[in-house]
Structure formats: structure tokens, C-alpha cells
Structure 1
């Protein structure tokens, strides 16, 4: 319907020409703003926490894998040291002990070290350029044991001592126990760090949830006024924080995975240096197995789930206060 005005021209009734928003689009409009400053801060916090947790988990997996390889290699070897003794021919003693070791059941390989090879084993401690001619350098014999075989160490020691009284037999049992203790301590420390990360994440999410509820209190009160239940309101906030948690988890976990993916190349830059050699001895090749990357991905999802869980608990407590 239209009518004509004297000074301003014809007037048109726009009642039927207002833009109509579909009901589906209205339902999809978020109650909680997605691009708020608090939301971006929470994504950053979750990303940092996920990155720290992933680095800790990856380091624990690397140390555990390296320790398992060390234990497997060391447990499959027996080392005999033949020390020089007055009145005895060390070359004859080494040959006799090596021949006796070959006759032992379960021994698959014998490697007697020459004097020069035995002296080179001392270079990491004594340095290079020294003359070992006047030093009583012991001769080393390495025997590799067949996997699954447990030799009679007492009988082996008695036989070796009978042939060479100055010889000693070491099955590296004490070294293996030390490695197990170190691995256990590393895993325990990693679990402690993960627990602290999870606690810090829960505290951060709780504060962020309360802040979001306080900022949107008028909206929550209006929703209560029109009959919306606590579950309906909580689900809207829950989806919001679950989305933020997933974003932070993907960012933090993805960066950690990329770091571990390029860690082998990064380690090659420091190869040959004392620090690089020590890290290589501790962590091996710095490369995670596929199962390690799956563990990091599952951990990122877990942190996102913890974010949603902490948000849900805080939501219902806050809704009770608002009511």
C-alpha cells in the first residue's frame, strides 16, 4: 500500500519487502562469539599446553625406545677382559679364552680385540696421541649370545679363570639395571609433567568459561526468560569450548609433530659436537615411530576433550549462580 506526501514524495510500505532470514540460519547463529579475544587467548593457551605435553611425550618415547635398544644389545653380549699378569703370556691367554668361549653352548660369535683395538677403547677417556706401550692395557673379548639363550655364567667364569687367572667376565647386568632405573625415572618425570599440563589446562579453561559466561550473562538471562533449559545453554557453550580446544590441540600437536619430523635433520647439524653426540647417545636417531605420532595425535584429542569436560563442569556451576 502506498500514499503520496506533499513534500517528500510517495511513501511505500515495506512491510512485505523486509529481508527474511531462514529459520535454519537463525538457529545456526552462535550464542557465544567465536572470534572473541578471550577465545583466541584460550586457543593459544591450549596450543602451548598441547605442545609442551607433546614434546614431553615424544622425549619419553625416544628415551624408552633407545633404552630398549641398549638393553637388547647389551644383554646379548658378554665381555671378557684379560689383564696383563707377571709371568704370563697375554696373547696365549687371550687365544685360550677365545677358544674356550667358542666351545660354550649358546655363543654364536667371538671377537677378540687386538692390542691396538683395545687401546682405542680408552681414547674417549684418555684422549688421542698417547702411547700405550708402557701401560697395562687389558685385552677385550666380546662374545655374542644367541637370542633367548641364558648361558651358565658361574661355570663360564670358572672356566675362564682357570685358563687366565687375571681375566674377568661381565654380563652387563648392573648396567642393564641402571638403564631400567633411568628409563623408569624418565617415564615418571614425563607423567608428572603431563599431570601439571592437564591441571593448568583445566584451570585456564575454568577461568575462560566463567569469563565467557559473565560476558554473555544478559544473553543467558534472556534464554532463561524464554524457557531455555540449562542443558540447551550448556551445549552451546560446550560446543564453543570444544571447538577452541580442538583448534589449540591441532596447532600445538601439529607443531610438535613437525618438530619431531625434522628433528633428525636438526640433529645432523650438531653431529660431531659434544652436545650432539650426548643427545644422540641418549635419544638415538631422534625419529619417532608411527605409533609415536599416533600417540601425539591421541593426546591432542584428549586435551581437547579435557577442555570440553572442564568447561561443562564450570558451566553448570555458573548457571546455578546465575539462576
Structure 2
């Protein structure tokens, strides 16, 4: 539908005036407070995305490492030659199709594995410590684990085989749960952001209610008035998102620098063995940038829709004087 002369006159006076008075003040306490709130929520959203991606990356690495290996555990017993049993178990496992190799974990390697819990200088000959045979498997053509386990149990009564399936199932379940919790937290943060912008927009509309109603009365369209708020809230949202997202990215960089320095120590190597290296990939930084863009977009769209909805309420109030704007 073509614009009426009154609509064109009202919008032209606002947009082409030498020194136009903006509907939303360019700088006020409310805008600064809103930017701070958006910055905090953007920071939390970026941390959530980064934590979910980091844990998912570590869980995938754990799963890949576990699925590539299986172990045969041989328990010591009285009058039992454990060294001979280890070599026999190694030979049995290596004879199955799908097994790349089988290697015996000797006493020094076993001592290194137990060092985080038992300390150094332990004489394993005096302790009934189980011995291990590590089987490296072909991921594309895995062997028949049941057949290997049955053959080893029949030949060596004190031996048991663990293909780590229970650990893999737990890791998959943990990764899915973590992802669900992270998405739920992100949804709650973004919902709080939308509600905050709605209240802030309502407050700006209430403080300029008379001006907006007069502009709309003389012919200014709802889209034009919404555009004035949209531009203002876009810059508020973008500024807050950049501050919060930039802070999260800086924290990621600091954590990555700290991790790289500390993983080279003995304590860091032990933590990496137990929990992975928790490396921060490029996807984490890309996710933070996407959160910044999403927050700025949500802020803009929320402000626009809130203004249009409010002007619709003004029209309803004009049609029905008994209705109140507030």
C-alpha cells in the first residue's frame, strides 16, 4: 500500500532534520546497564559453548583411544609362573584376526603405571600386582572379543580380558549428558537475555511514550519507529556481546597457555593420562564468535518485535479508551 502524505511528512521530519532528536537517547544509564548485562550473559554463553565443545572433544579422544586397545589381566597366584602365562596370553591374542599386535607390560612399565598411587621405589615382586597384556586392534576390522576371552580363560584360569566396552558406553553417555546440560544452560541464558531486552525496550518505550504516540498518530509507521529502536539496541547488544565474548576468548587463550605449560610437568602428564589434555580447538573460538553474532541478532530482533507489539497495543488502546498502555 502506498504511503500517505502524512506518513511521509512525519518520517521525513525525523530523518532529514538538521539536528534530529533521537527517540532513544544515544547514551544513558539504562543503555550502559543493559550492555553490562548483555556482556555478562554473552560471557556465560561463550563459556558454556566452550566447555561443551572441550568436553566433547576430550570424550571423543578418550573413546578413540579406548576403542583401539583391549587388555588381558593376569592375576598372580601361589605356584603360578606369571611370566610364562603372559607369553602364552600374548601368543593366543596375536593369533586372532583383527589383532594388530599384543605386547606385555613389563615390571618397570607396571611400576610407572602405579606410581601416581603407590609412589616410587616400590618392589612389585613383593606385591600381588596383576600383570597386563595390551592388545592393539584394527578399528576397521575388530576381532571377536568373546572368542579371544574364551580362549584365554580356557588356557589361563587366572586371566581375564577387558575390551573396555563398559568404559566406551559410559563415555558416550557422559558426552551426551554433558551436551544436553550445556544446551539447556545456553537456552536459559539466551532466554534471560531476551527477557532482559524486552524489559529494557519496554522501559525505553514507557519513558518516550508520548513522543512515540504522537509520531504514530501523525502517520509514522510502526516499522519506522521500530527501526529507530532497532538500531540503538543493535549497537548496545553488539557492544555487550563483543565485551563478553572477547572476555571469554581471552580466558580460553589463558587456559590454553597454562595447559600447554603445565602438561609438560609430571603432574600434568598424570592428569592428561587420567582426564585427557582438555585442548581448546579452533571450534571453541568459532563457537564464541557465533555466540557474539547470535546475541547481537537476538537483541535487535527482540527490540524490534517488542516495539511493534507495543505500538499495536497503542492502536488497540486508541480503539478502546478503557484499555491502558501500562
Per mean C-alpha deviation after superposition, the further-off stretch among 273-282 and 78-87 is: 273-282
Superposed, 1:203-222 pairs within 5 Å as: 203-222=195-214
Higher alpha-carbon deviation: 127-136 or 253-262: 127-136
Q: Following TM superposition, by how much is the alpha carbon of 1:107 offset from its aligned partner in structure 2, in angstroms?
A: 1.5
Instruction: Give the unaligned 5+ runs of structure 2.
Output: 1-14, 316-326
Match of 1:188 in 2: 180
Specify the SS of the correspondent of 1:121.
Answer: helix
Three-state SS of the structure 1 residue aligned to 2:160 is strand
Q: CA deviation at 1:315?
A: 1.2
Q: Distance in 1 between matches of 2:19 and 2:221?
A: 16
1:284 to 2:282 alignment: no
Q: Which residue of 2 is the match for residue 9 of structure 1?
A: none
In structure 1, stretches of 5+ residues that fail to align are: 1-22
The normalised TM-score by structure 1 is: 0.84
Q: How does 1:15-94 map to 2 (within 5 A)?
A: 24=16, 26=18, 30-94=22-86
Change (3 A) 1:131 1:28: farther
Change (3 A) 1:217 1:295: same
In structure 2, C-alpha distance between the alignment counterparts of 1:265 and 1:92, rounded to whole Å: 47
Assess, with a 3 A threshold, how the Cα gap between structure 1 residues 273 and 54 changes in structure 2: closer, same or farther. Answer: farther
Q: How does 1:115-130 map to 2 (within 5 A)?
A: 115-130=107-122
- 1:170 matched to 2:153: no
State which drifts further: 182-191 or 63-72: 182-191
Query: Residues 71 and 162 of structure 2 are in contact (CA less than 8 Å); yes or no, is this contact kept in structure 1?
Result: yes
In 1, Cα distance between equivalents of 2:210 and 2:122: 83
Give the secondary-structure state (helix, strand or coil) at the position aligned to 2:103. Answer: strand
Structure with bigger gyration radius: 1
Preserved CA contact (<8 Å) 1:63 1:282: no
Deviation at 1:283, TM superposition (A): 6.0
Alignment pair present for 1:141 and 2:156: no
User: Is residue 146 of structure 2 the alignment partner of residue 154 of structure 1?
Assistant: yes
- SS where residue 227 of structure 2 aligns? helix
The worse-fitting range, judged by mean Cα deviation, of 42-51 and 250-259 is 250-259
**In the aligned structure 1, how far is the partner of 2:216 from the partner of 2:269?**
62
Q: Structure 1 residues 280, 307: closer, same or farther in 2, change over 3 A?
A: farther
TM norm structure 2: 0.84
Moved more, 173-182 or 127-136: 127-136
Report the Cα offset of residue 113 of structure 1.
0.9
8 Å CA contact 2:55–2:278 kept in 1: the answer is: no
Change (3 A) 1:247 1:279: farther
Q: For the residues of structure 1 that align with 2:66 and 2:303, how far apart are their CA atoms?
A: 49
**1:13 matched residue in structure 2:** none
Q: Give the paired residue count.
A: 301
SS in 2 for 1:144: strand
Q: CA deviation at 1:184?
A: 1.4
Partner Cα separation in structure 2 for residue 28 and residue 101 of structure 1: 84
Partner of 2:9: none
Q: Aligned-pair RMSD on alpha carbons? A: 2.6
Q: CA deviation at 1:252?
A: 1.4
